[in-house]
Structure 1
Amino acid sequence: MAPQHAPRICPLCEATCGLTLTIDGTRVTRARGDRDDVFSRGFICPKGASFGELDADPDRLTAPLVRGEDGTLREAGWEEAFDLVAARLRPMIEAYGPDCVGAVLGNPNVHTMAGQLYPPLLLAALGTRNVFTASTLDQMPKHVSSGLLFGDPFAIPVPDLDHTGHLLLLGANPLESNGSLCTAPDFPGKLKALRARGGTLTVVDPRRTRTARLADRHLAIRPGTDALLLAAVAHVLFEEKLTDLGRLTDLVDGVAEVREATAGFTPEAVASACDLDAGEIRTIARELAAAPTAAVYGRVGSCTVEHGTLTSWLVDVLNILTGNLDRPGGALFPLSATDRPPRKPGPGKGFALGRWTSRVGGHPEAKSELPLAALAEEMETPGEGQIRAVVAVAANPVLSAPDGDRLDRALAGLEFMVSVDPYLNETSRHADVILPPPPPSRSAHFDFAFNGFAVRNQVRYSPAAIPLEEGRPDESEILARLVLAAAGTPGASPEVVDEGVIDRTLATAVADPRSPVHGRDPRELSTHLTGLTGPERRLDLMLRLGPYGAGFAPNAEDAPDESADRESAAPLPPQGLTLARLLAHPHGIDLGPLRPRLPALLKTRSGRIELFPAPLAADLPRLRAALAARPAALVLVGRRHLRSNNSWMHNVPALTGGSNRCTLQIHPADAARLGIEDGVRVRITADGGAVEAPAEITDAVRTGVVSLPHGWGHDRPGTRTTVASARPGVNVNQLLDGSRLDPLSGTAVLNGFPVTLTPLTGDRVPARTAHL
């Protein structure tokens, strides 16, 4: 039988590139870029090229594991595994209350269709307030600042990369990460195109990354001081009368208050703290204001610092003050195919922080989540509301959160734990039940999350490329059955979970006078939904009721092809977008460039952009105090790698080795001062303890800064990750004890924290060749 070919959206990072899979029988033998993909146009990175190897990883679990009476994990059937979950989980909730369960959701959830559709239902079934996700290790500051400014934590503007003339980029290295909260296949190509058309790229980063080497200007800032730099840029804009809000002038409250609040952050005042030249800061402000179009973009390095939320806020403050927010060529709000249709402008419900706090540390919730750094104390501390059970979905906090050793001990002391994970890893090894989803080739894919951050509006769907083995549930069924177990109805069919969502959604839609299906019979409407599975029917419903749909217009399933690239972005034909139409376009449907969406997008109580919200104003004194703080002699930052994504790709041989190594990068001047030679093992010590790694002496990192990558530390017993365990590296987050948090978002400070180094004399490992 000749090999088959199938298009597939890559699920391995936020770029969501289109792939063409070559399939021989039930195995993916090759993955290449899909040149017909409407979004990525054939771009591919090493992660996408390794799709087949990751898909066929022999260490992936193929059946559930359950813990026997002797305490060891053994392979079990699916019915036995779900029976055990039902027998243990719901009785605990009824005995101790819903908060006895901690729900932990990891980063891979946003990379799967099921991981987006079912966790909200699981959390509702559990009823717990103890919800922890990877967001408080990454982007929660951006959600909080967007919620406070725009009333919606998911209203995150992205730079209009294809049209901007000036990009100021902070704490991001998209040539390695492929972008984050800015879904852009071929980010490197877009930056090169910016330069080619005469635009300007300024990169602010303590490391001379691949992205920084491409820039017109690289500012090697002292880590953790991005907010001071941005406040100084805002000060210059006000001082030199360079602000121009343009069409937003009558839509923004709080401009005068921001002017007053930034008055003390002059370039001269912040220069020492940032270790930058005051004149250069003024130049950045002037160039930003003078550019015909410009965008400021900040990511992980600017979020996972002690002033992460203030930094995220100031990014948008600068976009607003220069008139570049919601403007082509500036920073725009995407409109995904499954978003809600634009609402009538006016006041909304707004966004609130701290509606409850964690039991032990008193940490305020943000977006209904508590800091992942607080999970261990909630498990360890006895009393009412103590976490006695954990449900972890695609999460490995032992490696990704601060103080993994403490988490390791706390997880071992739980009464019950269930993990949905394809691997027996550092966290899932503590579970009483492990439910492994199938490989990505056997799963349908739709990017609910990342389409909402895409630099161009488009929609794509990939059915499963290879059928599931007989008797094996897909990820959607696994999570649906977990929802039923949590709800106390384990005997029900998983289909009732999806049908229940459809029924509730249609009931709400027909009761809404603004809905295109207002007044119609929801039961009759549901008969028009297509799709072979519950998730497909739910997707069809969202597309029909979304901004590019036409409700349930006649003949919507037979809509003609209008998918050619439309720079003017003419709307779809009256029949609208449906699943059937999407399936007829396996390489996707282009929905046109991003366009202004204000004021309809705003959900603040005022119906306006609230530029100086009270929680941010209350945090500014902490930033002012940083002006006089004495900087640490040496601080640590993380680093990304093109062939890695957090902790979940180190078991693929093609993605390890080479430059993807766990080394401590240190500047030659610091190495000489501390007596450290290239390749010598170094003990790194901080709040949470110490780790050891070989030194890699390089001027790619500035003085006063060392860099250790995130996601390593695969040396714990009881795991089943052969490749990762052979090259374990060290867990940089073990250097943290969880006490360093951005107070507004609860995000762990993973960058810019002080460390001390001790060379281990006589313990030399050539850093250029060693594999940890």
Structure 2
Amino acid sequence: TDDKFLNEQCVGWEDLRPLLDEVDVTDYARKCGIPEEELRSAARTMAKAKSLATEEDLGIEMAPHSTLNSWLQRLLFLLTGNFGNEGGMNIPTRLAPICGHSAEGATEPVTGTPMLCGLVACAAIPDAIDTDHPDRFRGMIVDSSNPVHTLPDSKRFREAFAKLECLVVIDVAMTETARQAHYVLPASSQYEKPEATFFAGEMPSNYFHIRQPIFEPLGDTLPEAEIYSRLVEAMGGEPDGVEELAEAAKESREAFIETFTRLSSENPDLGAKLPTALYRSLGQSLGEMGPAAIMFGSAMQASMRFPDAIREAGIKGDGLELANNLFDALINAKSGMIFSTSDYSTSFDRIKTPDGKIHIHIEELVDELRGLASEEPASPTDAFPFVLSAGEHRGSTVNDVIRDPSWRKKDKDGALRINPLDAERLGVADGQRVRVITKRGEAEAPADITDTMMEGQVSLPHGFGMEYPDENGEHKIHGVSVNELTDIEDRDWLALTPHHKHVRARLEAIPG
């Protein structure tokens, strides 16, 4: 451990260390099936490394002890002092926050489940709909998502969504969720409108790319900015002053900024409906890049939060001038651009705890951490002896937008991957169909026998089980929809993260 870092930058080491001293490494190695010396060797390598960065993903996030795993993963780089340094973990600048922040003790009012990062847990949604609570969810807008297919326990989501009084789906494909909707508002595809992803997190220089459209939109599809603006206006919510702002945008960017500054100070309604206001004013002067006008708001926020980092990247100006120059640079950078550059040490400035320290001891997770000592792995004698990873990402998988199964050149049926020893015990040959049974449902898939799977673990890919016409025009389900096998009750106790990657299952060989 880096005691200097822990003493100067962290709080709680004196409470955390005794908990870690209790861990019986030998016993834990036995439980996870990895030789103890390999674990200790990995730990020594990380401790001695000049720098250390970690990446957690769905394998440990969508499994038992999800929140605990996220805490322990962060301790790897914090206990070794690998934060705010080159090659270590850092907090990058972002043009817009990916998520928000919840007040202490905030809960979703219908189910009482915790709200984290300002969000309602997906696994809480069916219970927030299917209830007699006076504030139950009666209507939903589902945008670019397919919860009936991709969230845990499809049966439960179908039942709950059928009880919504109004379900609106905005998407580029006729998904399983769209088929249940009262209204489907078709959106232009990713190649027909400007788009961006907000996940870039590079240090010391961070990148952003507003992808430009290359095709005309098909049919009656619209970009989301147009769809939402029409919805706002249909509800009588057109921002005050937007017409004046649009006239100023036609005149010049300078006139737009001057008018925007004046109207924002006079009319709080403009800020409350900023995306629509920007799209209906500035967006009308940008041609096919019109929907990207909402990024002017992001450029304003960024220029206020980290102006020095933006100027270090070569963008000039102060205040709205800086925001405007950043916006223009983003719009015109067809291949993306560096929008900020900052020293690694600035990561410490972005810690928002009241004392500016990293709080490494989380009292709410202590009992769960200690409980690992008495927990045992699944036994072959259990009713469901296998652990199914329901939704493995493979080279043959993609999201629900691409629905035609003919694009797959391999693994066309979405095979069940299984360890050779497990296959031998079950009497399963490569390619033979296997029945997968969970407490929530069952499905069939061909076996792919591979030593990439540990004994006792099997996997099915995501992106299958969607309805699509075959060569005769008949609608058929292609492959296994893994969330017909998952149970919404199997989830993290705190964040309600579903256990997609740890579904208890039983396998049966199908003769022939």
Q: Normalization by structure 2: what TM-score?
A: 0.80
- Alpha-carbon distance in structure 2 between the residues aligned to 1:752 and 1:317: 23
1:457-468 equivalences under 5 Å are: 457-468=206-217
- Alpha-carbon distance in structure 1 between the residues aligned to 2:490 and 2:262: 45
Which residue is equivalent to 2:298?
542
Could you say what secondary structure the match of 1:298 adopts?
coil
Which residue is equivalent to 1:82?
none
Which residue is equivalent to 2:36?
278
The 8 Å contact of residues 188 and 218 in structure 2, kept in 1 or not, is answered as: no
- The counterpart of 1:330, out of the listed 88, 98, 102, is 88
- Alpha-carbon distance in structure 1 between the residues aligned to 2:143 and 2:341: 34
Which residue is equivalent to 2:138?
388
The 8 Å contact of residues 495 and 534 in structure 1, kept in 2 or not, is answered as: no
- Alpha-carbon distance in structure 2 between the residues aligned to 1:426 and 1:504: 45
Letter in 2 for 1:620: L
Letter in 1 for 2:403: H
Match status 1:416 vs 2:166 = yes
- Alpha-carbon distance in structure 1 between the residues aligned to 2:264 and 2:32: 52
Match status 1:738 vs 2:488 = yes
- Per-residue deviation, 1:357: 3.9
- Alpha-carbon distance in structure 2 between the residues aligned to 1:754 and 1:627: 14
Which residue is equivalent to 1:626?
375
Relative to 1, partners in 2 of residues 1:734 and 1:536: Cα closer, same or farther, differing over 3 Å?
Answer: closer
Indicate the larger mover: 583-592 or 474-483: 583-592
Relative to 1, partners in 2 of residues 1:721 and 1:495: Cα closer, same or farther, differing over 3 Å?
Answer: farther
Which residue is equivalent to 2:397?
644
Which residue is equivalent to 1:616?
365
Relative to 1, partners in 2 of residues 1:756 and 1:600: Cα closer, same or farther, differing over 3 Å?
Answer: same
- CA distances 1:593-614 after superposition (whole Å, capped 9, x unpaired): 8733232101123321111123
- Alpha-carbon distance in structure 1 between the residues aligned to 2:435 and 2:194: 45
- CA distances 1:374-422 after superposition (whole Å, capped 9, x unpaired): 3333333334233333321112112111221232233234332111112
Indicate the larger mover: 380-389 or 700-709: 380-389
The 8 Å contact of residues 465 and 480 in structure 2, kept in 1 or not, is answered as: yes
- CA distances 1:540-571 after superposition (whole Å, capped 9, x unpaired): 343255259998x9xxxxxxxxx9xxxxx954
- Alpha-carbon distance in structure 2 between the residues aligned to 1:336 and 1:459: 9
- Alpha-carbon distance in structure 2 between the residues aligned to 1:494 and 1:429: 38
Which residue is equivalent to 2:314?
572
- Alpha-carbon distance in structure 1 between the residues aligned to 2:436 and 2:108: 33
Which residue is equivalent to 2:250?
none
Which one has the bigger helix percentage?
2
Match status 1:658 vs 2:424 = no
Q: How many residue pairs are counted as aligned between the two chains?
A: 473
The 8 Å contact of residues 400 and 646 in structure 1, kept in 2 or not, is answered as: no
Which residue is equivalent to 1:407?
157
The 8 Å contact of residues 413 and 445 in structure 2, kept in 1 or not, is answered as: no
Which residue is equivalent to 1:489?
236
- Per-residue deviation, 1:337: 4.2
- Alpha-carbon distance in structure 1 between the residues aligned to 2:433 and 2:119: 39
Match status 1:672 vs 2:424 = yes
1:486-635 equivalences under 5 Å are: 488-489=235-236, 531=286, 535-547=291-303, 570-572=312-314, 574-575=316-317, 576=322, 577-590=325-338, 591=340, 595-626=344-375, 633-635=385-387
- Alpha-carbon distance in structure 1 between the residues aligned to 2:128 and 2:510: 37
Relative to 1, partners in 2 of residues 1:390 and 1:544: Cα closer, same or farther, differing over 3 Å?
Answer: closer
- The counterpart of 1:266, out of the listed 6, 24, 34, is 24
Relative to 1, partners in 2 of residues 1:312 and 1:383: Cα closer, same or farther, differing over 3 Å?
Answer: closer
Which residue is equivalent to 2:269?
none
Letter in 1 for 2:106: R
Which residue is equivalent to 1:144?
none
- Per-residue deviation, 1:652: 6.3
Relative to 1, partners in 2 of residues 1:399 and 1:571: Cα closer, same or farther, differing over 3 Å?
Answer: closer
- Per-residue deviation, 1:629: 7.8
- The counterpart of 1:320, out of the listed 72, 78, 101, is 78
- CA distances 1:698-742 after superposition (whole Å, capped 9, x unpaired): 212111111111232114xxx779899656111112112211111
Letter in 1 for 2:68: L
- Alpha-carbon distance in structure 2 between the residues aligned to 1:322 and 1:437: 47
- Alpha-carbon distance in structure 1 between the residues aligned to 2:438 and 2:97: 43
Match status 1:693 vs 2:445 = yes
1:82-93 equivalences under 5 Å are: none
1:336-351 equivalences under 5 Å are: 336-338=94-96
Which residue is equivalent to 1:435?
185
Could you say what secondary structure the match of 1:440 adopts?
coil
Which residue is equivalent to 1:296?
54
- The counterpart of 1:712, out of the listed 464, 471, 496, is 464
- Per-residue deviation, 1:424: 1.8
- CA distances 1:132-182 after superposition (whole Å, capped 9, x unpaired): xxxxxxxxxxxxxxxxxxxxxxxxxxxxxxxxxxxxxxxxxxxxxxxxxxx
Could you say what secondary structure the match of 2:446 adopts?
strand
- Alpha-carbon distance in structure 2 between the residues aligned to 1:300 and 1:709: 13
Could you say what secondary structure the match of 2:148 adopts?
helix
Could you say what secondary structure the match of 1:314 adopts?
helix
- Alpha-carbon distance in structure 2 between the residues aligned to 1:459 and 1:470: 30
The 8 Å contact of residues 316 and 325 in structure 1, kept in 2 or not, is answered as: no
- Alpha-carbon distance in structure 1 between the residues aligned to 2:81 and 2:263: 38
- Alpha-carbon distance in structure 2 between the residues aligned to 1:610 and 1:653: 50
Could you say what secondary structure the match of 2:316 adopts?
coil
The 8 Å contact of residues 456 and 593 in structure 1, kept in 2 or not, is answered as: yes
Could you say what secondary structure the match of 2:348 adopts?
coil
User: Where does structure 1 lack aligned partners over 5 or more consecutive residues?
Assistant: 1-242, 341-348, 512-522, 554-562, 564-568, 763-772
Relative to 1, partners in 2 of residues 1:651 and 1:622: Cα closer, same or farther, differing over 3 Å?
Answer: farther
1:715-726 equivalences under 5 Å are: 715=467
User: Where does structure 2 lack aligned partners over 5 or more consecutive residues?
Assistant: 247-256, 267-277
Relative to 1, partners in 2 of residues 1:549 and 1:269: Cα closer, same or farther, differing over 3 Å?
Answer: closer
Could you say what secondary structure the match of 1:694 adopts?
strand
Match status 1:759 vs 2:506 = no
Letter in 1 for 2:60: S
Could you say what secondary structure the match of 1:682 adopts?
strand
Which residue is equivalent to 2:107?
356
- Alpha-carbon distance in structure 2 between the residues aligned to 1:761 and 1:697: 17
The structure, 1 or 2, with the larger RCO (C-alpha pairs under 8 Å, 6+ apart) is 1
CA-based RMSD of the aligned residues comes to 4.0
The 8 Å contact of residues 424 and 721 in structure 1, kept in 2 or not, is answered as: no
